[in-house]
Chains A and B, each alone.
Chain A
Amino acid sequence: MNPESEQLRQGDLSPAGPEMDAPPPLSAAARAEARARFEQLIAEHLDSLYRSALRLTRNRPAAEDLVQEVMLKAWRSFHTFQAGSNVRAWLHRILMNAFFDNYRKHTREPDMVDQEDVGDFYLYEKARDSAALSAAGNPEVEVLDQVMDTEVRESLEALPAQFRAAILLSDIEGFSYKEIAEILGVPVGTVMSRLSRGRHLLQRQLWEFAKERHFVRGD
């Protein structure tokens, strides 16, 4: 990683032009003060950034590197950051840009379009239809009880990156559609369709786990 040679892609969150790479010269005292504010801000959001990075990269060393990259990029445009802005959204935008920049360089994941859609509430319907689960009395409760946390994380990580990103921003980090649209640089309609498709795929994956590990009859 060589952050000094990389271009920032901050969109409307930082001014365009060559000056954006270097913070304006500051007095030592002003710099120390900015550094202290920045350090506090990073500390506050570190867990959230790390979790998102972990879900995106799917491994710890890569997640740590990504968070470090985000921090370096955030510091370089920190002077453009307005107090009172949505810090967590700003940091997540830097995170998503950094991740997808690296990601596109190393993978070619086809855009997921025109896939069959067999209903939004896949898992619920599967659980209701399952004779084995129905025998337990309350199939919808039963199916969720059978899936472990690690399996949920695995299922999420099995999703194509674009869907994974939308779901983690919405369902885990709790950002609004509008915030997610800004973070990912796509229209709100795209956010909604990625969420819908992603949740559907997630439910299919969870059903596979319920089936495999717990011998639920899956038909």
Chain B
Amino acid sequence: MDCEKALDKLWQFLDKELDGESSTELQQHLEECRHCFSLAEFEQRLRAMVRRSCTGEHAPPELKERLSKLIRLF
């Protein structure tokens, strides 16, 4: 697999949506190509950052209470 193809498939790979064979080939390319490896690592870190920044919030207690009250009316 060359860089162009690897980068074309990178997001699918990181999304765990690439089929077994392509995934193995891409993995292999990442082990051999420093540029693509570093880019893949970056995208992964970025994704982790997006996830972390948005998963810290919780539903406010007032909302929980409001919903519980409603459910009791069902």
Interface residues of A (CB under 8 A from B): 31, 35, 38-39, 42-43, 46-47, 49-51, 54-55, 60, 64, 67-68, 71-72, 75, 120-121, 123-124, 127, 140-141, 144, 147, 149-150, 152-153, 156, 167-168, 170-172, 176-177, 192, 195-196, 199, 202-203, 206
Contact = CB atoms under 8 A, between A and B. Distances in A.
B47 A171 contact: yes
A69 to B, nearest CB: 11
Interface string B52-63: 111111111011
A42 B39 contact: no
A172 B50 contact: yes
B38 interface: yes
Closest 4 CB pairs of A and B: A149-B53, A50-B59, A152-B53, A46-B59
A124 B42 contact: yes
B34 interface: no
B42 A199 contact: no
Given A50-B58, A168-B54, A71 B49 contact: no
A72 B69 CA distance: 12
Interface residues of B, number: 36
A124 B43 contact: yes
Contact of A149 (B11, B38, B52): B52
Contacts of B74: 31, 35, 38, 75
A51 B11 contact: no
B49 A144 contact: yes
B15 interface: yes
Nearest to B14: A171
Given A64-B66, A144-B46, A196 B54 contact: no
B64 interface: yes
Given A39-B71, A124-B39, A144-B45, A68 B53 contact: no
B57 A51 contact: yes
A46 B16 CA distance: 26
Contacts of A150: 53
Nearest to A138: B38
A120 B10 CA distance: 10
